[in-house]
Amino acid sequence: MSRMVGTEDQPVPGYSIVHKIGEGGQATVYLAERDHDGLRVALKVLERRLRSDPVFLERFVREYKLVTSLENEYVARIYDQGFSGDNPYIAMEFLPSGTLAGRIHLGLTPRAALRLTRQIARALDAIHSRGIVHRDLKPANILFRPDGRPVIVDFGLAKDMGVNSTLTVAGRLVATPRYMSPEQCQGLPVDARSDLYSLGVILWEMLTGHRIYADASPSELIIMHVSSPIPKLPSSLSHHQPTLDRLLAKNPEDRFQSASELCGDITL
């Protein structure tokens, strides 16, 4: 259902802004209350400078359609979407239990890191089974329900493998280089194994508390994902190296071939 637009302080009529949650390169997310019942939602509003860009507008519409089609516990619920006027928006489930980025910052035990990796792999398996590849998996895009279950959000770059789409953004790098697979860095076709590479980067971060290739610039990161050796864990964590090596293999054929295979490899 589409709504008419509002002001910057009240960007979508029918929703009252509580405060801004976050702001990225493509959208601003607000904590808002739905006026007719007080339901708290995360209100994602496309950035003003992108509202006349047909590629980003199409991505915004596609995100809504993809997430609505998934309907499972590992993906944030969608309540409403509007696409008329100057404020395209998506109203989705508000998840107040923080992000994986926040948990990494506080520090995780190796056991907790492996448990989260397996939970995220289960989430990816549910998504991949519907023919969807996320393509921008990173700690900031993994949130949690109150019971600790991870929820994957931000499907703006997701690919429906069953749809022949050539939607691109010429000359722009729209994913996050820190977590991109080698094939994504090279502009090659990607499948579910690309998300598993990104999960390997996240696992490295959870185990070590540091970002992979920490001091590299975005352009250097792209080169390093393609050609640099897989980094080695500290000796105290070396027994996790075989799992990491398979996740971070440069050739997708050398990785785990599915998220469910990864789940089976992790024992706690």
pLDDT digits (tens, 9 = 90+) for 71-85: 788 888 889 888 645
Task: State the pLDDT confidence band at 52, using cuts at 50, 70 and 90.
Answer: low
End-to-end C-alpha distance for the chain, whole angstroms: 45
- The helix or strand, by DSSP H or E, that contains position 191, with its residue range, turns out to be none
| Average pLDDT score over residue span 48-75 | 75
Q: Can you give the pLDDT at residue 2?
A: 34
Under CATH, what is the fold of the domain 100-265?
Transferase(Phosphotransferase); domain 1 (1.10.510)
Q: Provide the 3-class DSSP secondary structure of residue 186.
A: coil
The residue annotated as part of the active site, out of 9, 37, 125, 136, is 136
Looking at the DSSP bridge assignments, the partners of residue 28 are 23, 45
Among 72, 89, 65, 262, residue whose Cα is nearest residue 167: 65
Domain with CATH 1.10.510.10 in the chain: 100-265
Whether 158 and 63 have beta carbons less than 8 Å apart is answered as yes
Whether 152 and 124 have beta carbons less than 8 Å apart is answered as yes
Whether 56 and 26 have beta carbons less than 8 Å apart is answered as yes
Pairing of strands 40-46, 150-152: unpaired
User: Where is average pLDDT lowest: 51-55, 91-95, 106-110?
Assistant: 51-55
User: Where is average pLDDT lowest: 79-88, 229-238, 239-248?
Assistant: 79-88
Task: State the pLDDT confidence band at 170, using cuts at 50, 70 and 90.
Answer: very low
CA 16, CA 195: separation in Å to the nearest integer?
35
Task: State the pLDDT confidence band at 27, using cuts at 50, 70 and 90.
Answer: confident
| Average pLDDT score over residue span 16-41 | 89
15-93 falls under which CATH superfamily?
A: Phosphorylase Kinase; domain 1 (3.30.200.20)
Domain with CATH 3.30.200.20 in the chain: 15-93
Backbone angles phi, psi at 157, to 5 degrees: -110, 5
User: Token pair of 244, please?
Assistant: 């990491």
Catalytic-residue membership of 136: yes
* Residue, of 249 and 130, whose pLDDT is higher: 249
Q: Can you give the pLDDT at residue 169?
A: 44
Task: State the pLDDT confidence band at 95, using cuts at 50, 70 and 90.
Answer: very high
Task: State the pLDDT confidence band at 138, using cuts at 50, 70 and 90.
Answer: very high
CA 94, CA 42: separation in Å to the nearest integer?
5
Does position 44 have pLDDT exceeding 80, yes or no? yes
